[in-house]
Amino acid sequence: MQDQPHAASPETSSPETSGIPTSLFAFSLLYGGLVVLAGVLGTKIAALGHWPLLGDLAVESGIFAFLLLVVMASAVAELYGQDVANTLVRFGFVPLIVSMLLLTFVIKVVPPAPFWGDQEAYARLLGQGARMQFAGLISYGTSQTLNVYVFSRLAGGRGRLLILRAWIASLLSQMVDTLIFITISFAGVTDAAGVPLPIGEIMAGQIAAKLLLSTIMVPPLIWAFVKLGRKLDGQR
């Protein structure tokens, strides 16, 4: 009687034996975590200092996680193609929506312990209104899809001008992300005196800061992530 082949057990299975390249598996895990972390980091406004021609710049800290998302989506597009990268972006909605629902549940439904006095600060920092949550979903999906599209189409696609394609795609996607998020979040909103918020000025400052960070962070990071992905997959 011939021996029958045995299926790989959960203990011995790996991303490769499951048909998923190691780098794609690792990048997907990191991507999902950063989608959630970007919203949490965004509660702090970071100062970027004074820059010639640009002046004093400040940006919400979630941009540091979001630029990593941009880089990873571009790296996946470079390694596995546009369709796989778009799938990664779409699956990113899952942890994003789940985290929003859980935060809303914990803040609005779960009562704080009697001895814990930080409920108000917790809700102020981590709670977002429905309008801003909707803005975040729309801006995330649109900007990340645009980033993958532009990156994949420039210069004939994969294998050419990697750093330049990633930089241009990041610049465009960050501009679109800011335009969508601020417009949906703050259009028609007034301050305590009833004066409409200067969303044009807010957009200009945010776009300048994000373009600066994209220029500094994206070129070295896209090179590093593509190189790391190839190494994890056993390529040179």
- Whether 46 and 59 have beta carbons less than 8 Å apart is answered as yes
In the predicted structure, residue 109 carries a pLDDT above the cut 90: yes
Reported confidence tier of residue 64, pLDDT bands at 50, 70, 90:
very high
In the predicted structure, residue 193 carries a pLDDT above the cut 50: yes
Q: Which residue has the higher pLDDT, 3 or 213?
A: 213
Torsion of CA 101, 107, 112, 117, to 10 degrees: 140
Q: Which residue has the higher pLDDT, 201 or 18?
A: 201
Q: Which two three-digit tokens encode residue 235? A: 């390529």
Give, as one character, the DSSP assignment of residue 81: -
Q: Which residue has the higher pLDDT, 99 or 202?
A: 99
pLDDT at residue 9, rounded to an integer: 46
Compute the C-alpha angle 65/29/78, nearest 5°.
Answer: 75
* pLDDT, the chain, mean: 88
Tens digit of pLDDT for each residue in 124-133?
888 877 788 8
**Percent share of the chain, pLDDT over 90:** 59
In the predicted structure, residue 4 carries a pLDDT above the cut 70: no
Cα–Cα distance, 79 to 23 (Å, whole number):
9
Cα–Cα distance, 229 to 178 (Å, whole number):
29
- pTM value is 0.86
**Using a CB cutoff of 8 Å and minimum separation of 24, what contacts does 58-65 make?**
58/205, 58/209, 59/206, 59/209, 59/210, 59/213, 60/206, 62/37, 62/38, 63/174, 63/209, 63/210, 63/213, 64/213, 64/217, 65/34, 65/37, 65/38, 65/41
Give the CA count within 13 Å in the CB-facing half-sphere of 169.
34
Tens digit of pLDDT for each residue in 79-98?
999 999 999 999 999 999 99
For the residues 43-47, what does the mean pLDDT come to? 86
In the predicted structure, residue 10 carries a pLDDT above the cut 60: no
pLDDT at residue 111, rounded to an integer: 93
Longest dimension (CA), the chain: 87
98-112, 148-162, 214-228, range with the lowest pLDDT? 148-162
